[in-house]
A and B are shown apart, each in its own frame.
Chain A
């Protein structure tokens, strides 16, 4: 097996036993990138020389018998909205083309201290605004399972890279499903932790009250492994939680006999593709066979999630993106009459259409006369959505449902119906509004065209351990289903 196809947990064991080298693994990853990247377009930057140099240094340490940190030699792909010292960080926006951060985000600092190697920076929807990665200012990432379809978004580059073995594991961000949707569309595992679990210091914000750093891995154990490193309190993030971090890798291997699962009836309605419904129900039956108890529950206010989410994130984005003014970093348009003119020209040329629209919408929602009707109303409905989950979690430990009601869709799709545009996000946005942990696990494939189907497991705040435990046990039951891989026959096709 080429080393780039290894799971992260297995890879680290082999490295420690000196059965394989870090350098050869990085070379195998770069070879796969060279083979597929012209079509897939998952990366905006490949850290070719840097990764090889670090690999050689770690191999040297291992061969000389030195103590090595827990992730020593693990090649990790990073979504390009996370600051990496000395490596360009663009947010897939012309606004930040050429921006070299002078510092590492806390999550990057932790990964580096643990010995991880940054293999490259992944494509995304500009400023993480989108569900398809088509909103990138530079390129559209394609789905490794079917290159006529999108990989989901906004962490579509990270998910496609992991699914196509262009990385062993990746770090993404999830504001309204941006880790879970691409994980579902690309057939891998994606975990959005509880709000506050992982520091966002150095993550370029989209909507601060919902932004999270998440993990995209080939298997549940890989995500647990990285969670052990990136979680924990950070003085540099005022929303960071000072909550104990368990050993997720150890605890996920325990059984699920003690767990009670809620099945939200609203997430199995007519909006859900029939094949998705069928596969998710099959997986839920397996949970019951493993000893998990099931109960149907209701999340009545989840139907109001779309307007609630889009009003809040647009308002926060409109405010947060005010920092991009051409003065201190990023793009500046030179042909201007004065400071005000420079602001306007720079922002209008630097931001893409979707970003501009969301700033306009956010400005509208916060403006005098509209604040109470839209922004404040959305904040109140957010309370109702949160209370739905609080009520559900009085009865059950976890919730299970389809990650997305629809299969990965064709690139370039134009939706005239506004509600249809929001459909991929229907089951993930309520979780984001409530700040809860959510994980997407592949639970099967559609028959007509072989496309992955994701199942979402949702937990109480700071109970990622239970989410991972349920996912790990279910993954074992689904081993045969998940043994299928993309065939990568597109390597000679130009995307």
Chain B
């Protein structure tokens, strides 16, 4: 597999899609750390895995399907009590645009 170099511009784009705002020092540090990590493990990148199936699920025994039943849950007031930003029974957020 060809080695890639992550640029600071790409780190900015990653931050944008992860809804983060990084300062210049963080961008520089994270860029370096990411490149160090990606380039450190050449054997991992070259390992022949063409016929290996990915481990999508570790809990093979788990019950993934169940009846659609209403169960007891938190009340609206208990949920809204977790924030000060509430109004008329709703979460209040800043304007969208």
Cβ–Cβ < 8 Å partners of B63 in chain A? 238, 242
Known pairs A99-B82, A348-B21, A380-B53; A360 contacts B34 (CB<8 A)? yes
Chain-B contact segment, one of A40-48, A132-140, A157-165, A323-331? A323-331
Fill in one digit per residue for A188-204: 1 if any B CB lies within 8 Å of its CB, else 0. 00000001100000000
- Are B19 and A325 neighbours in the complex by a CB distance under 8 Å? yes
Residue in B34, B49, B81 whose CB lies within 8 Å of A364: B34
Residue in B20, B36, B62, B66 whose CB lies within 8 Å of A359: B20
Cβ–Cβ < 8 Å partners of A373 in chain B? 1, 45
A window 395-428: CB within 8 A of B? 418-419
Residue in B21, B45, B59, B62 whose CB lies within 8 Å of A344: B21
Cβ–Cβ < 8 Å partners of A240 in chain B? 62
A226 vs B13: C-alpha distance when bound (angstroms)? 46
- Are B41 and A306 neighbours in the complex by a CB distance under 8 Å? yes
* B: interface residue count bin: 35 or more
- Are B64 and A347 neighbours in the complex by a CB distance under 8 Å? no
Most buried by A among B15, B26, B38, B55: B55
Closest chain A residue, CB of each to CB of B11: A360
Cβ–Cβ < 8 Å partners of B40 in chain A? 307, 418-419
| A243 interface hit (Cβ, 8 Å) | yes
| A488 interface hit (Cβ, 8 Å) | no
Known pairs A338-B96, A339-B94; A344 contacts B19 (CB<8 A)? yes
- Are A243 and B94 neighbours in the complex by a CB distance under 8 Å? no
| B70 interface hit (Cβ, 8 Å) | no
| A270 interface hit (Cβ, 8 Å) | no
- Are A379 and B15 neighbours in the complex by a CB distance under 8 Å? no
B window 32-66: CB within 8 A of A? 33-34, 36-38, 40-41, 43-45, 47, 49, 52-59, 61-64, 66
- Are B83 and A343 neighbours in the complex by a CB distance under 8 Å? no
Nearest CB in chain A: distance from B42 CB, A: 10
Cβ–Cβ < 8 Å partners of B15 in chain A? 360
Cβ–Cβ < 8 Å partners of B18 in chain A? 318, 322, 347, 359-360, 363
Residue in A195, A347, A353, A374 whose CB lies within 8 Å of B26: A353
Chain-B contact segment, one of A171-179, A382-390, A444-452, A465-473? A382-390
A347 vs B62: C-alpha distance when bound (angstroms)? 33
- Are B61 and A241 neighbours in the complex by a CB distance under 8 Å? yes
Nearest CB in chain A: distance from B89 CB, A: 14
* A: interface residue count bin: 35 or more
Nearest CB in chain A: distance from B5 CB, A: 12
Nearest CB in chain A: distance from B4 CB, A: 8
Cβ–Cβ < 8 Å partners of B45 in chain A? 373, 377
| A336 interface hit (Cβ, 8 Å) | yes
Closest chain A residue, CB of each to CB of B71: A235
| A361 interface hit (Cβ, 8 Å) | yes
Residue in A103, A342, A383 whose CB lies within 8 Å of B54: A383
| A367 interface hit (Cβ, 8 Å) | yes
- Are A304 and B55 neighbours in the complex by a CB distance under 8 Å? no
- Are A383 and B96 neighbours in the complex by a CB distance under 8 Å? no
Most buried by B among A102, A196, A235, A339: A102
A window 114-167: CB within 8 A of B? none
| B68 interface hit (Cβ, 8 Å) | no
- Are B36 and A418 neighbours in the complex by a CB distance under 8 Å? yes
Closest chain A residue, CB of each to CB of B57: A209
Residue in A303, A307, A329, A357 whose CB lies within 8 Å of B30: A357
Closest chain A residue, CB of each to CB of B52: A380
Residue in B59, B71, B94 whose CB lies within 8 Å of A336: B94
| A7 interface hit (Cβ, 8 Å) | no
| A381 interface hit (Cβ, 8 Å) | yes
- Are A238 and B64 neighbours in the complex by a CB distance under 8 Å? yes
Closest chain B residue, CB of each to CB of A461: B61
Cβ–Cβ < 8 Å partners of A361 in chain B? 33-34, 37
- Are A242 and B54 neighbours in the complex by a CB distance under 8 Å? no
- Are A241 and B59 neighbours in the complex by a CB distance under 8 Å? yes
Cβ–Cβ < 8 Å partners of A393 in chain B? none
Interface residues of B (CB under 8 A from A): 1, 6, 10-11, 14-15, 17-22, 26, 29-30, 33-34, 36-38, 40-41, 43-45, 47, 49, 52-59, 61-64, 66, 71, 74, 78-79, 81-83, 85, 91, 93-97
- Of the A-B pairs whose beta carbons lie under 8 Å apart in the complex, a sample of 20, sorted by A's number, is A196-B59, A196-B62, A209-B58, A210-B58, A238-B63, A241-B62, A304-B41, A328-B91, A336-B94, A351-B20, A357-B29, A357-B30, A367-B14, A374-B38, A377-B45, A377-B47, A377-B49, A379-B54, A381-B49, A384-B47
Among all A-B residue pairs, the 8 with the closest Cβ atoms = A379-B54, A329-B82, A239-B59, A382-B55, A307-B41, A380-B49, A102-B78, A348-B21
